Structure 1
Amino acid sequence: MPFISFTTNQKFSLRQENEIVKRTGELITILPGKKEENLMLHIEDNQILYFRGTDVPCMMIEVKLYKNIEFEAKKKFTEELVTMINNITAIEAKDIYVSFDEYPNWGKQGTLV
């Protein structure tokens, strides 16, 4: 189950939020073995977030994954995700950061896998 958290200092419209959810669900399949039906998203807009000492429009995206994914797949996913966020929100690519955490174990459905 991938978990992706979006944190930004910008306020999203419902349309923008829905588009991020829809497009992220499509993009997650870039990562081998990952599917939209297992994807959990967390969107925090309108947060107090400073970057380079200013309140420039920016976003931090955290991606948590069960098991390791090859670098090239994560690179392609990052590029597509940042482009998508830029297209929907107008936050510049240079102001969007993405981090990945990969775990050998993951608790789900009441047990640890």
Structure 2
Amino acid sequence: MPYIQTKVNVEITREKEKNIKQKLGKAIELIPGKSEKWLMLSFQDNSNLYFKGSNEESIAFIEVKIFGKADNKEYDSLTKEITNIFSQELNIKPSQIYIKYEEVEHWGWNGSNF
């Protein structure tokens, strides 16, 4: 039940979105028990983002929500992989990428909760 929300201040073409979707589907497996089978993604391109008072450079803010918990080593690995994906696919510098993690205790699906 992971969810990854992406906000960037650049355009994401359909081709790039498919590439990112596929790569995030593999990357989420760095968290034990998580897979693309349950992964939900959203993409917001051309967002009005500012970092350090400026929007002159490409910027990404990515939120990752998971049901349950993971350890710091797993988050470190996922951060590295997500950073690589957005650097490669959208040419966003690692220093311009924020990634936020949230562990969710209650998660509903199909009319009930896990």
**TM-score band w.r.t. shorter chain:** over 0.9
The offset of 1:52, in angstroms, is 1.0
CA drift of 1:13 comes to 1.4
1:89 paired residue number: 90
Partner Cα separation in structure 1 for residue 96 and residue 40 of structure 2: 24
Deviation of 1:35 (Å)? 0.8
Q: Is 1:11 the equivalent of 2:11?
A: yes
SS where residue 92 of structure 2 aligns? coil
Partner SS for 1:98: strand
Q: 1-side partners of 2:102 and 2:17: how far apart? A: 24
Q: 2:53 maps to what in 1?
A: 53
Unaligned runs of 5+ in 2: none
SS at match of 1:42: strand
d(CA) in 2 for partners of 1:108, 1:88: 31
Do residues 72 (structure 1) and 86 (structure 2) align?
no
**4+ runs deviating over 4 angstroms:** none
Relative to the length of structure 1, the TM-score reads: 0.97
Task: Give the equivalent residue in structure 2 for 1:40.
Answer: 40
Identity over aligned residues, as a percent?
30
DSSP-derived class of the 1:75 partner? helix
RMSD: 0.7
Unpaired runs of 5+ residues, structure 1, are: none
